[in-house]
Structure 1
Amino acid sequence: MSSLGTKCADRLLSNILPIPSKNAIARSTYLLSSRNQQYRGILTSTVDWKPIKTGRSPNDDSRKDGSFGKKIVLGLMFAMPIISFYLGTWQMRRLKWKTKLIAACESKLTYEPISLPKSFTPNMCEEWEYRKVTLSGHFLHNEEMFVGPRKKNGEKGYFLFTPFIRDDTGEKVLIERGWISEEKVAPDSRNLRHLSLPQGKHLKVICLVRAPKKRGSLQWAKKDPNSRLWQLPDIYDMAKSSGCTPIQFQALYDMKDHPMIKEDTKKESPSNNSTSSFWKFWKRESSDSENQTQTTTNNVSRLNTGEENPTDQTIEFDERQFIKAGVPIGRKPTIDLKNNHLQYLVTWYGLSLLSTIFLIVALRKVKRGGVISQDQMIKEKLKHTRKYM
């Protein structure tokens, strides 16, 4: 019965599927292939573990070649927080120093003017900077020098530098008298000559001591040696060309009408009476006629008694009047030192913080994705297999 059943099954299969050959080997191969066709619809995984995400592989030669560059970048990332933190600390020290320096200069501006010592030298300018001093002597208007052009209230002009001979030592120094309009550069075009071109041998001028600065390597140098015009206040070059001591003095901002002439000079120079009728036009008119009468009486009494100033010092001019008359406008006594160290401090400390954050992120990324050796890769695979399989 068993042999009969086998024959029936073979005959049934032969009727359903054509057998290419009666050979036993071919028949068995055909039967196996037909059985495998029944399981082709079932999908099985060909991977026994989930791949590990890695940034590099030991067999990757191209990544090995770029390892030196990565080390350099990583070294710079380590150095950046340290360097920026040091620079921020340095700016903190600079901030304290600049704050003390500005406070000291502001306190010097409150001092009363004193006579300039006879033994004053250029090396003392740093210590005496922003100190008010009184100079006695006379100007050399035929040796005037100009720096500019510079604009003031939208009008083109220049800073006027005039050599000054001291009475006590005979030393020749430079005084920056102030800003003057371009139209009044020529001395003959100026009015109010007792203020624009003060004459006499014993003039008193109140100035501010400034430390002369050297011209930078990127700043323009004067090309024409015979010219009296400079683009920048190069005190050393200006003093050399005029034979002055390299000391910078700045005349103070003063709108009052007071000629800088002493008693003996007034007796020698009668030009005040000739110009008085002209510069009365620039005076401010008083609303009270009694005040004008009193002012005239005081001026006459001062002339009779030999007092120093024959004019009313309470009268003040306007800047526009000085510009039209050609009178130099001095600089206001203010501190021009810049203190930006707080901004630099915040910038460097902020850069140190950001670079530290970037360094931490980069180190965490390298720690997660880097495979250093083959053994470590195998360990990571086994660890992953135990966790998920």
Structure 2
Amino acid sequence: MMGWGRLLLGASCQIPNGLVRRKSFGYPLIKVHSGLIQQNKEICLRLCKHRSTTAASAKSEEDVVFKWGLFLIPVTTFFLGTWQVQRRKWKLKLIADLESRTASEPISLPIDPMELKELEYRPVKVRGYFDHSKELYVLPRSMVDPEQEARDAGKLISSAKIGANVITPFHCTDLGVTILVNRGFVPKKKVNPETRLKGQIQDEIDLVGLVRLSETRKPFVPENNIEKNLWHYRDLEAMARVTGTQPIFIDADFRSTVPGGPIGGQTRVTLRNEHLQYIVTWYGLCAATSYLWYRKFIQKIPF
């Protein structure tokens, strides 16, 4: 009976962890101290707030880097387009100067190497005779024919003839030196001089040609084979050593052509000018990427 009395009267007892357990009318009641739960709640809120702030800050930094990193694309393409504008101006001036130089009146050939360096593509005149016994052959070469090239423009297959340029020592009687002259183009079957004896001029003649300088070997161009007399690029020093001439070289003009001989006028004076295409390409990319960047980061329109 005493035990039932305590239960009905709601006798209380202290239990660990700050909980007070009471029983009233046979139902247990638990009361948690309000200070403890409030403290835990504040700690949880502070942790969540700190994590949220850290994540938001990191995401914001990533967005800024991404935004301005992408902005470099239109900026870079704009500067590349502007650079090509300047390059095109330079190339047009170079082409104009080249055309003016090749069309100028011939001058007497100077033999000063320093003066010759400033005269490439300039017409010069000489008088003398050829030494056909020391011919050199630069090949393979296609014949320079502006009319044929104009007709072949736009065609997938060119009808240009393939052969060689004949380089012959020429003794200048008025200067007392021997130079190298590119007499012009011969087809492959006419490379052997015995097949074109009619064109092997023996007399003293007046000759007009364009000054040419030595050139370096371009990528994928074979090395010159001096032993077999097969030349793939114009190496004046080596050619002069082989023929015993001065390292002075001219391309004979078309008027030097004789029946049965090489066809003169084999100087290509055109320069590639594709800068307008590059200008359109770079400025086009600049405009497109600028528009996309504006929609993404200014208007905030998702793609």
- What is the TM-score with the length of structure 1 in the denominator? 0.52
Which runs of structure 2 are paired with 1:149-298 in the superposition (5 Å)?
149-152=140-143, 155-192=161-198, 196-200=199-203, 202-216=204-218, 218-222=219-223, 224-254=225-255
Q: 1:140 aligns with which of 131, 152, 158?
A: 131
CA contact (8 A) 1:118 1:168 kept: no
Higher Cα Rg, which structure:
1
Residues 250 and 60 of structure 1, relative CA distance in 2, 3 Å threshold? same
8 A contact 2:106–2:125 mirrored in 1: yes
Q: Which runs of 5+ in 1 are unaligned?
A: 1-56, 258-321, 370-389
The residue that corresponds to 1:92 in the other structure is 85
Q: CA deviation at 1:342?
A: 1.9
Tell me the C-alpha RMSD between the 2 structures: 3.4
1:41-120 equivalent positions in 2, closer than 5 A: 74-119=67-112
| Paired AA for residue 254 in structure 1 | R
Cα distance between partner residues in 2 of 1:180 and 1:224: 19
Looking at structure 1, the residues matched to 93 and 227 of structure 2 have their Cα atoms a distance apart, in angstroms, of 43
- Relative distance call for 1:368 and 1:204 in structure 2 (3 A) is closer
AA aligned opposite 2:189:
E
Deviation at residue 344 of structure 1 after TM alignment: 1.8
Q: What is the CA-CA distance between 1:139 and the residue it aligns to?
A: 2.1
The question of whether the paired residues in 2 share the 8 Å contact of 1:209 and 1:249 is answered with yes
* 276, 288, 291: which one aligns with 1:354: 288
Distance 2:52 2:120 in 1: 69
TM-score scaled by length of structure 2 = 0.65
CA drift at 1:224: 3.6
- Structure number with the higher strand fraction is 2
What is the count of residue pairs matched by the alignment?
Answer: 236
Q: Distance in 1 between matches of 2:289 and 2:166?
A: 51
Distance between the aligned counterparts of 1:355 and 1:106, measured in 2? Answer: 40
Question: For residue 262 of structure 2, what is the aligned residue in structure 1?
Answer: 328
Contact 1:84 1:349 in 2 (8 A): yes
Q: CA deviation at 1:328?
A: 0.2
Ranked by relative contact order (alpha carbons within 8 Å, sequence separation 6 or more), the top structure is 1
Cα distance in 2, alignment partners of residues 157 and 363 from structure 1: 61
* CA distance 1:244–1:185, shift in 2 (3 Å): same
Contact 2:210-2:253 at 8 Å conserved across structures: yes
Asked if the contact 2:77–2:286 (Cα under 8 Å) also holds between the matched residues in 1, the reply is: yes
